[in-house]
Structure 1
Amino acid sequence: MADGTESESRKLLGRLRDTLAEEGAGQARLDKITHLIADSMRTDVCSIYLFRDSETLELCATQGLKPEAVHKTRMRIGEGLVGRVAGTGRPMNTENAPATRGFRYMPETGEEVFSSFLGLPVQRLGETLGVLVVQSKEARRYSDDEVYALEVVAMVLAEMAELGAFVGEGAALRALHQQAVMYQGATGQEGTAEGHVWLHEPRVVVANPVADDPDMEKSRLQVAIDTLRLSVDEMLDRLEPGDKDQREVLEAYKMFANSRSWMRRIEADIDRGLSAEAAVEKEQSQARTRMEQVPDAYLRERLHDLDDLSNRLLRILSGQGSETGAEMPVDPVLVARNIGPAELLEYGRSLKGVVLEDGSVGSHAAVVARAWAIPLVIHAKNITAEALNGDPIMVDGDQGVVHLRPEETVVSAFRDKMAMMAEAQERYVSLRDLPAVTKDGQRIELYMNAGLMADLPSMESSGAEGVGLFRTELQFLIRNRMPKRGELVDIYARVLDAANGRRVQFRTLDIGSDKVLPYMKASDEPNPALGWRAIRVGLDKPGVMRMQLQALIRAAKGRPLTIMFPMVAQFDEFRAGREHVFRELEREYALGHIMPERVEIGTMLETPSLAYAPRQFYEMADFISIGGNDLKQFFFAADRENERVRRRYDTLNSSFLSLIERIVERCDEAGTDVSFCGEDAGRPVEALCFAAMGLKKLSMRPASIGPVKSLLRRVDLAEAREVISSARESGVQSVRQSVMDWLATQGRNGNA
């Protein structure tokens, strides 16, 4: 293959395919492959390194190095030239390996006599499975044709590894899609679930990476491309005139689908001996590698468009798309790289759980998961590469752990945990209609958070006394266009109908940060959480705020209306938002609409600055809701999306509780109603401590009301207050241990 001709490349791939088709263990196959490649490339050495674990490469087969080094030589990512290839995902071609920066001499291999080195990543869809290396004694730089041909071979090796062709003896030769795997991710929503995998974007398995007839493969490719172009045109035709951003995305799809350079690269891979599917996937893998290394956000987005288009083309070519009629399991756990709220809502409430490779704790996919009371684990790295539709899966949202194809011992322990939790939930049902009154007679009101119509039946089943937070942005996020005022009136009216006279605190549109509307141009901000979001957007772009306020006023239909503004950082912002409400009330009255019985205007307190606002702010606000999630991240300067720091700071930190206490005192002085809203309100021990700090209203997800009420009804709040005060006076950083010790002496478990 030294001349790099296409026919020689096809011959090698044909011999590879025949070798892989033979019966035998994975090790025997790898040994034959290294011999074939060295012979065809006319090199002294061919070696295959595969990942033993996520950080370690292992020499699994070689022709030319010392045989005793196989399964003994290992290196970390970035270590030596092989480790550099694995780390960068890029080929390395040098005529003098020992003189190349990063070279590491492995004495057990006997490689010191080889001068030239060509290493290529063995990749599938951007995931590096190993490294393919050829070496020669003579100082030679491998030609572009030779590099290209070896890339094609590496692609086939990746596909065959995916299909389990190399399973056998040797720690690195494990079976993909067969063994039990545990993923340590992060908690997006607590809870546990057992079910079977349902992939949001089913993985296309390329069973025929090598093809003998390039003309036939190119013909198949052309038919698939024509089908793809037609489907994109049909999607464009279905768009409404206002769907500008969707049109831009589809136009980008159309541009790629008509790209001659893209087609030429795929056809060149077919000429080398790949099937149409393998050629498309080879291009897709290289695009994904480029995507990881491009700093420009716009270019990254375009490469993501190309990645999505490649997936569509692969499904058409392989017949593995949704048209194959695969049925969702009866107990589906959704597995995806990431997912938006609209896509998640399309699945309905049948999902048992959700597992994402990306995602964030503040995303609206997490909000939907909380509304449905199903566990969500985020940052489960590479799970979409391993999971297949129908695989057994167990999700522990409490610990952020996912067990894919779990062992029987794990299944047994997991089911025991689920049974205990189910038993506890049964106990909470009996408390549903009872008030949360502590042993010393203090009444705590428990409200629920909501954002979807689907949440509202939980008001009855959970025993919530009202809605402490209704997230209005979800109605904007799940559409591909701006909702009309009439649509919002209908939604808000139905919310108030379902509340049946109970209080509903509507939070005005909270967009920005991780909540980007699909039809609004995203602004590339260095720190979105501290950027142009929430009330800042509303005050700068008042048109949407006006429409939303009008919809709320009309939806009230003479009933009480409660409005609160998000992310207020200073008194003037609240005052300006309040003036907007008054102006819209005047306009609606002039137009003859029915006025609300009364209107209360309040704010979320999510910034430390607002805790120290002038006294007039506290007097002007009808109510204040402490937004614990954002307040905590700003107070500790710890991004709640950053796993390395967000768990570093305890909610029951003495300083944070002192801030909460001070806010409560200022509200009491002004006679202003105050509540706490956020994830921590739904954790029983935290809820107990907030109540001890003087908070009489807590708002949480519906599933948390039972556990919180159960603990509050069994404690003396004055005693709890004394325990917390003593702990703070002693100088401890967190009062958690002191409170837990006290609960233990009372015979009460904070998690009960």
Structure 2
Amino acid sequence: MSQTSESESRKLLGALRDTMASDRAGQARMDDITQLIAQSMGTDVCSIYLFCDDDTLELCATQGLNAEAVHQTRMRLGEGLVGRVARTKRLVNTDNAPQQRGFRYMPETGEEVFSGFLGVPIQRLGEVLGVLVVQSRQTREYTADEIYGLEVVAMVLAEMTELGAFVSDETGVGALHQRAVMFRGSVGQEGAAAGQVYLHEPRVVVTNPVADDPEAEHKRLNDAVETLRMSVDEMLTGAGTGDKEQKQVLEAYRMFANSKGWLRRMDEDIELGLSAEAAVEKEQSAARTRMNEVTDAYLRERLQDLDDLSNRLLRILTGQGADTGAEMPEHPVLVARNIGPGELLEYGRKLRAIVLEEGSVGSHAGIVARALAIPLVIQAKGVTTEALNGDQILVDGEQGIVHLRPEDTVTTAFKDKIAMLAKAQDRYTDIRHKPATALCGTTISLQMNAGLMADLPSLENSGAEGVGLFRTELQFLVRNQFPRRSELASLYGRVLDAAQGKRVVFRTLDIGSDKVLPYMKPQDEPNPALGWRAIRVGLDKPGVLRMQLQALLRAANGRALTVMFPFVAQYEEFTQARAALTKAIKREEALGHILPENIEVGAMLETPSLAFAPDAFFEDVDFLSIGGNDLKQFFFAADRENERVRKRYDSLNVSFLSFMEMIVDRCSKTQTPISFCGEDAGKPIEAVCFAAMGLRTLSMRPASIGPVKSLLMRVNLADVKKVIETARAEGKMSVRDDIAAYIRSLG
């Protein structure tokens, strides 16, 4: 970049800073800025377009176009060249704009006379706030120096927008982080809660995007980078030699921290007039844009590393480190882009709710949130950008809706909803210790799912008859290395102690697919849900399976033990897994250890193939548990992590219920105990339908036991079965509406 363009850029940024510091109104500021940019770059037109809602851009200021078009000209996201820049987050540079595909002629602006067009996104950390455009009558493309300079200016405009420099009634630009906003996400865990935002990673606010003294900024940047490198080196030293995967991640960190290209680009930004932190943020925004376009998992991880390093560098430069973050409020609602299970467990039950910008129903965070019975909303796009520490927030985990800084009317209605939910729970307290007996006299055993010691008090409080599923993988997921056998034996022993004689079904390690151990080498699989997971891992890694089985045998200490193998797809896998248990029992006996008084060995039926296993399998297994979450996704060929398709398929689909009935019939012939475990077991309407299909044991989250029991006690299962059979005979796809009508008729 030439010295002339550098000095011009610094001069322009200095003028922008003075404009930002002035006491002029927001519209006057924008008008001044478009004039400054047009003069500095020698262009006929400079225009600023900002989003007035999620899908609409508005011309907010211009130098060179018809002034009457300001606040009148609007375009949808993707419409015209300006809309294309906003949608793609990529610049458009052309010497003949009217001939470009998608060009939109807007007569009120008079722009058809301008051929040269350069539009760049006004964005902060990958979030597009608007578009900055320069145009010329001359048929020309803008140079690389001009493009780079305009991108730097756009970045400063993004910071000014963030800091509220353009807010006024005249501009129609509202203050960020002050207005009420509603986010529609997906349900990760039901429940409702009100509280205050507590950001897992507080956003760094850059208040000084422009700097006068490049030398001083270079020094600040170099000092901060050196501090960053030292901290990465310390992390590497602390990792030692034991954790190879962790060391590889830290080596990648070190590579980026020492990247000359990264540092050179930030130095170039400083030469143009940016402050050190603004230069870091500009490169971070570019990396985030690239990250959104990259499909290769490895490259995305590396760009994520760079993003994390940028955050660390920004905190060093601004002093807005983790230890200077906000105190946790009285009623904290955790807001994060994503979060690991270990970090979430550290927060524990202090949280009222969790809102994630990413995440999935089967993610580690989802598993822990369900274990802790904390309302969770996932896929709340944009929430980390909009939320600030301490903001009032309402989380509706029943519908996947989040209200940030809500209006009084919304708050009042929400409080009424929470009161109604609490009242309903009080009603369920009265039936806590009553059997779940339907009007026809059939009693259903309601059990709870668990995965943490913290779940066990719910065994008494919820009225559950036992633990139908204890997920043993959580103890593996929250650590940085394999737990020891003695640690697992101690934990499993405490679980049995807390159960006070009630049956606990321990499912062996169910990892793979969406549950990846941080210390196991990740498998590059095109479809991990159908890949190397659960019992397949256990059989291929016999040492891991043996260690866990030994821990379970020792934890029993003479008491009854129930073990269940996950994701068994064929009879042979069950016989191999049971042989591993038999071998472990013989070894424990040889060592003189106390053996369990009784051992039940079961399997999870999560694949359609197992439903068609030989009769010998059903005779051989002590019990079966239908893993509803996985079985449903394989039955309908619809990935439950894919929001586009997972809601498309109903558990009360006639075909699925018929399949349940077939499984129950096969188990009846061999007198094999069968249960249903999964999210759908905890939904009252689904539960009564499963019971009508012949299932006599359901396992669910503790909070669902009351609602399910309440409805079971009001229905006649024979009547429910008739409704299902009638719908099936009439060729209906789902019985949901018919069952809902039947329940309404009960009064």
Question: Where do 1:150-165 residues align within 5 Å?
Answer: 150-165=150-165
- The answer to whether the 8 A contact 1:9-1:149 is kept is yes
> What are the Cα deviations for residues 374-433 of structure 1, in whole angstroms up to 9, with x where unaligned?
111111001101000111000001111000001111111111111000011111112222
Aligned to 1:393: 393
Aligned to 1:378: 378
TM-score by length of 2: 0.98
2:153 maps to amino acid = V
> What are the Cα deviations for residues 20-73 of structure 1, in whole angstroms up to 9, with x where unaligned?
222233222111110110011110000111122222222111111111222222
- The answer to whether the 8 A contact 2:652-2:736 is kept is yes
- The Cα of 1:172 is off from its aligned counterpart by 6.0
- The Cα of 1:141 is off from its aligned counterpart by 2.2
Moved more, 230-239 or 625-634: 230-239
Question: Where do 1:469-548 residues align within 5 Å?
Answer: 469-548=469-548
Question: What is the distance in 2 between the residues matched to 1:104 and 1:536?
Answer: 57
- The Cα of 1:3 is off from its aligned counterpart by 7.4
Secondary structure of the corresponding residue to residue 5 of structure 1: helix
Q: Is 1:570 paired with 2:573?
A: no
- The answer to whether the 8 A contact 1:4-1:146 is kept is no
- The answer to whether the 8 A contact 1:52-1:171 is kept is no
Q: Is 1:561 paired with 2:581?
A: no
Cα 1:519/1:224, change in 2 over 3 Å? same
- The answer to whether the 8 A contact 2:194-2:352 is kept is yes
Cα 1:3/1:31, change in 2 over 3 Å? farther
- The Cα of 1:169 is off from its aligned counterpart by 3.6
> What are the Cα deviations for residues 195-235 of structure 1, in whole angstroms up to 9, with x where unaligned?
01111111011111111111122222222222222222222
Question: What is the distance in 2 between the residues matched to 1:172 and 1:272?
Answer: 31
Aligned to 2:661: 661
- The Cα of 1:491 is off from its aligned counterpart by 1.1
Secondary structure of the corresponding residue to residue 558 of structure 1: coil
Moved more, 184-193 or 7-16: 7-16
Question: Where do 1:182-221 residues align within 5 Å?
Answer: 182-221=182-221
Moved more, 525-534 or 612-621: 525-534
Aligned to 1:682: 682
Aligned to 1:633: 633
Question: What is the distance in 2 between the residues matched to 1:505 and 1:532?
Answer: 23
Q: Is 1:437 paired with 2:403?
A: no
- The answer to whether the 8 A contact 2:118-2:134 is kept is yes
Question: What is the distance in 2 between the residues matched to 1:540 and 1:514?
Answer: 19
Question: Where do 1:616-631 residues align within 5 Å?
Answer: 616-631=616-631
Counting matched residue pairs gives 747
Secondary structure of the corresponding residue to residue 146 of structure 1: helix
Question: What is the distance in 1 between the residues matched to 2:184 and 2:172?
Answer: 21
1:712 maps to amino acid = L
Question: What is the distance in 1 between the residues matched to 2:121 and 2:632?
Answer: 43
Aligned to 1:103: 103
> What are the Cα deviations for residues 156-196 of structure 1, in whole angstroms up to 9, with x where unaligned?
00001111111224686221101000001100111101001
- The answer to whether the 8 A contact 1:2-1:146 is kept is no
Aligned to 2:726: 726
Q: Is 1:421 paired with 2:413?
A: no
1:376 maps to amino acid = L
1:435 maps to amino acid = P
Question: What is the distance in 1 between the residues matched to 2:642 and 2:429?
Answer: 36
Aligned to 2:53: 53
1:319 maps to amino acid = G
1:545 maps to amino acid = L
2:403 maps to amino acid = H
Question: What is the distance in 2 between the residues matched to 1:439 and 1:577?
Answer: 41
- The Cα of 1:240 is off from its aligned counterpart by 4.4
> What are the Cα deviations for residues 227-270 of structure 1, in whole angstroms up to 9, with x where unaligned?
22222222222224322111111121122112222111111111
Question: What is the distance in 1 between the residues matched to 2:468 and 2:556?
Answer: 17
2:134 maps to amino acid = V
Aligned to 2:716: 716
Aligned to 2:147: 147
Aligned to 1:596: 596
> What are the Cα deviations for residues 485-536 of structure 1, in whole angstroms up to 9, with x where unaligned?
1111111111111111111111111111110100112122222211211111
Question: Where do 1:9-88 residues align within 5 Å?
Answer: 9-88=9-88
- The Cα of 1:76 is off from its aligned counterpart by 2.6
- The answer to whether the 8 A contact 1:60-1:170 is kept is no
- The answer to whether the 8 A contact 2:470-2:505 is kept is yes
2:424 maps to amino acid = A
2:315 maps to amino acid = R
- The answer to whether the 8 A contact 2:243-2:481 is kept is yes
- The Cα of 1:644 is off from its aligned counterpart by 2.0
Moved more, 250-259 or 278-287: 250-259
- The answer to whether the 8 A contact 1:50-1:172 is kept is no
- The answer to whether the 8 A contact 1:51-1:172 is kept is no
- The Cα of 1:340 is off from its aligned counterpart by 1.1
Aligned to 1:224: 224
- The Cα of 1:541 is off from its aligned counterpart by 2.0
- Indicate the RMSD between aligned Cα atoms, in angstroms: 1.5
Aligned to 2:449: 449
Aligned to 2:408: 408
2:512 maps to amino acid = G
Moved more, 206-215 or 437-446: 437-446
Q: Is 1:178 paired with 2:204?
A: no
Question: What is the distance in 2 between the residues matched to 1:564 and 1:624?
Answer: 8
Question: What is the distance in 1 between the residues matched to 2:155 and 2:58?
Answer: 19
1:611 maps to amino acid = A
- The answer to whether the 8 A contact 1:627-1:678 is kept is yes
Percent of aligned pairs sharing the same letter: 71
Question: What is the distance in 1 between the residues matched to 2:542 and 2:288?
Answer: 40
Question: Where do 1:298-317 residues align within 5 Å?
Answer: 298-317=298-317
Aligned to 2:549: 549
> What are the Cα deviations for residues 580-637 of structure 1, in whole angstroms up to 9, with x where unaligned?
1112112222222211111111111111111111111111110000111111111111
- The Cα of 1:743 is off from its aligned counterpart by 1.4
Secondary structure of the corresponding residue to residue 53 of structure 2: coil
Question: What is the distance in 2 between the residues matched to 1:266 and 1:255?
Answer: 16
1:25 maps to amino acid = A
Moved more, 386-395 or 288-297: 288-297
Secondary structure of the corresponding residue to residue 464 of structure 2: coil
- The Cα of 1:114 is off from its aligned counterpart by 1.0
Question: What is the distance in 2 between the residues matched to 1:159 and 1:524?
Answer: 39
TM-score by length of 1: 0.97
Q: Is 1:605 paired with 2:611?
A: no
- The answer to whether the 8 A contact 2:565-2:604 is kept is yes
Aligned to 2:241: 241
Which ranges of structure 2 fall in alignment gaps of 5 or more residues? none
- The answer to whether the 8 A contact 1:377-1:400 is kept is yes
Question: What is the distance in 1 between the residues matched to 2:240 and 2:558?
Answer: 35
Secondary structure of the corresponding residue to residue 196 of structure 2: strand
Question: What is the distance in 1 between the residues matched to 2:590 and 2:160?
Answer: 73
Question: Where do 1:346-365 residues align within 5 Å?
Answer: 346-365=346-365
Secondary structure of the corresponding residue to residue 140 of structure 1: coil
1:461 maps to amino acid = N
- The answer to whether the 8 A contact 1:47-1:62 is kept is yes
Secondary structure of the corresponding residue to residue 65 of structure 1: coil
Question: What is the distance in 2 between the residues matched to 1:210 and 1:135?
Answer: 25
- The answer to whether the 8 A contact 1:2-1:40 is kept is no
Aligned to 2:330: 330
- The answer to whether the 8 A contact 1:58-1:172 is kept is no
Question: What is the distance in 2 between the residues matched to 1:325 and 1:531?
Answer: 41
Aligned to 1:750: none
> What are the Cα deviations for residues 665-685 of structure 1, in whole angstroms up to 9, with x where unaligned?
111110111101011111111
- The Cα of 1:2 is off from its aligned counterpart by 10
Question: What is the distance in 2 between the residues matched to 1:40 and 1:292?
Answer: 33
- The Cα of 1:726 is off from its aligned counterpart by 2.4
